[in-house]
């Protein structure tokens, strides 16, 4: 990971890459090419996407798998601050990091994404770090539609660790689980009853829960919260990986507890390599994504037909106004088009 790309956030007007350029760029871990390839993945132009699909198919699987870590938490919990501290910690240890952030606040402006994650600027200037925010559109309910391909690109580029950040809103988390090896939930310190606010489903997925902003006057509060989560986590069903959810506190701004997180991750890695879970899980994920992508290709093919979106919207409105059965409507649209 020797290439440096200081312009993580400043995307040039789209210059389309050739398949060869993508393949070579990814193999050299050229972050500029990586960023452009992801832009092409997110393009509305199917041609752009298909080119990256072809490139992805040409690049052989990397021998070393990246350690994929999902990071989620409500807005305001301090995900960016944590990722900045954590990313710097890894970078200092000589570990290369790709950060894929699904950012609902980022906006697509004619092909260029203007990131507003200024806090991550310092991190993005480091040598072995690649940061790429993505707008949170797409079918995976909150995560970008092309997350899987983006992760594949980073893995094939040889990053040691991939941090995949999402906003913790509902159903997307079960999909994220299909993308990552480890799932980290960030929560805020607060009174005990805030546990109710967190969807139990998300807690069930978490391999570690991190109480953020454990600094200054907030430390006692954070420790209490940690205890509450620890108690609650005992009630959760046992994980397939046989891993017991860990709860810790940290402070991104004071840079405390960050090293503990990396220790936990390494413990987890050792644990799940030893019991075979990590490989088993990857195989399951691979089968999942095979079907998922196949279905996506089939659907995209149908919905990319000329005029189909207009027809769909028209008939959906009729469904909404009870002018036509949903079943009849689907049947009609499909029959006319097939």
Task: Return residues touching a copy of itself (CB under 8 A).
Answer: 53-54, 56-57, 61, 148-149, 152, 196, 200-201, 235, 237, 283, 285-299, 301-302, 312, 315-316, 319-320, 322, 325-334, 338
Q: For residues 45 and 302, which CB has a smaller minimum distance to a copy of itself in the complex?
A: 302
Instruction: Determine the distance from the C-alpha atom of residue 134 to the mean position of all C-alpha atoms in its chain, rounded to a whole number.
Output: 9
**Closer CB to a copy of itself, 129 or 152, in the complex:** 152
Q: Closest approach of Cβ 164 to a copy of itself, in Å? A: 16
Would you say 118 or 331 has its CB closer to a copy of itself? 331
Closest approach, Cβ 50 to a copy of itself, in A, equals: 9
Contact 333, 312 (CB under 8 A): yes
Nearer CB in complex with a copy of itself: 2/321: 321
Least spacing, CB of residue 319 vs a copy of itself, in Å: 5
Going by C-beta distance under 8 Å and a sequence separation of 6 or more, which residues neighbour residue 156? 26, 27, 56, 59, 60, 61, 62
According to DSSP, the β-strands at 208-212 and 112-113 are unpaired
Phi, psi of 164 (to 5 degrees): -115, 105
The rounded distance, in Å, linking the Cα atoms of 240 and 279 is 13
Nearer to a copy of itself, 109 or 338 (CB): 338
User: Measured from the CB of residue 229, what is the shortest distance to a copy of itself in angstroms?
Assistant: 16
Closest contact distance (angstroms) between CB of 332 and a copy of itself is 7
Taking the complex as a whole, the smallest distance from the CB of residue 25 to a copy of itself amounts, in Å, to 18
For the bound state, the minimum distance from the C-beta of residue 199 to a copy of itself, rounded and expressed in Å, comes to: 8
Q: How far is the CB of 263 from a copy of itself (least distance, A)?
A: 30
30 or 155: CB nearest a copy of itself:
155
* Residue position matching structure tokens 């106004």: 321
List CB contacts of 303: < 8 A, sequence separation 6 or more.
309, 312
Query: Are the C-beta atoms of 147 and 33 separated by less than 8 Å?
Result: no
271: helix, strand or coil: helix
Can you tell me the distance from the alpha carbon of 299 to that of 233, in angstroms, rounded to the nearest whole number? Answer: 39
User: What is the smallest separation between the CB atom of 170 and a copy of itself, expressed in angstroms?
Assistant: 11
Q: Rounded to an integer, what distance in angstroms lies between the CA atom of residue 337 and that of residue 317?
A: 18
| Angle, alpha carbons 295-336-320 (nearest 5°) | 80
Which C-beta is closer to a copy of itself: that of 120 or that of 162?
Answer: 162
8 A C-beta contact, residue 100 and residue 179: no
Determine the Cα–Cα distance for residues 252 and 266; give it in Å rounded to an integer. 20
Alpha-carbon distance of 332 to 327, in angstroms, equals 8
DSSP alpha helix (H) spans, 131-238: 147-156, 172-176, 200-205, 219-234
> Toward a copy of itself, which CB reaches closer, 263 or 334?
334
| Cβ closest to a copy of itself, residue 95 vs residue 329 | 329
């Amino acid at each position: 990971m020797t290439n440096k790309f200081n312009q993580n956030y400043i995307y040039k007007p789209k210059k389309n890459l050739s398949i060869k350029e993508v393949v070579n760029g990814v193999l050299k871990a050229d972050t500029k090419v990586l960023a452009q390839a992801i832009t092409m993945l997110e393009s509305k132009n199917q041609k752009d996407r298909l080119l990256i699909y072809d490139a992805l198919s040409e690049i052989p699987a990397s021998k070393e798998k990246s350690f994929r870590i999902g990071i989620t938490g409500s807005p305001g919990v301090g995900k960016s601050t944590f990722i900045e501290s954590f990313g710097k910690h890894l970078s200092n240890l000589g570990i290369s990091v790709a950060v894929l952030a699904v950012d609902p606040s980022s906006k697509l402006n004619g092909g260029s994404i203007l990131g507003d994650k200024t806090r991550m600027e310092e991190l993005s200037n480091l040598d072995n770090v690649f940061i790429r925010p993505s707008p949170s559109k797409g079918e995976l309910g909150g995560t970008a539609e092309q997350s899987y391909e983006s992760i594949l690109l980073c893995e094939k580029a040889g990053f040691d660790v991939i941090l995949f950040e999402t906003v913790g809103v509902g159903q997307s988390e079960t999909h994220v689980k299909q993308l990552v090896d480890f799932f980290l939930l960030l929560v805020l310190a607060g009174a005990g009853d805030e546990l109710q606010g967190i969807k139990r489903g998300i807690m069930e997925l978490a391999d570690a829960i991190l109480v953020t902003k454990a600094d200054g006057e907030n430390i006692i509060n954070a420790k209490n919260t940690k205890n509450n989560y620890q108690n609650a986590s005992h009630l959760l069903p046992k994980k397939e990986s046989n891993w017991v959810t860990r709860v810790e506190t940290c402070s991104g701004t004071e840079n405390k507890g960050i090293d503990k997180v990396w220790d936990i991750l390494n413990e987890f890695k050792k644990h799940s390599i030893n019991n075979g879970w990590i490989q088993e899980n990857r195989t399951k994920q691979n089968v999942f994504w095979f079907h998922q992508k196949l279905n996506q290709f089939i659907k995209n093919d149908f919905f990319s037909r000329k005029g189909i979106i207009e027809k769909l919207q028209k008939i959906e409105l009729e469904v909404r106004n009870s002018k036509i059965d949903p079943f009849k409507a689907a049947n009609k649209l499909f029959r006319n088009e097939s």
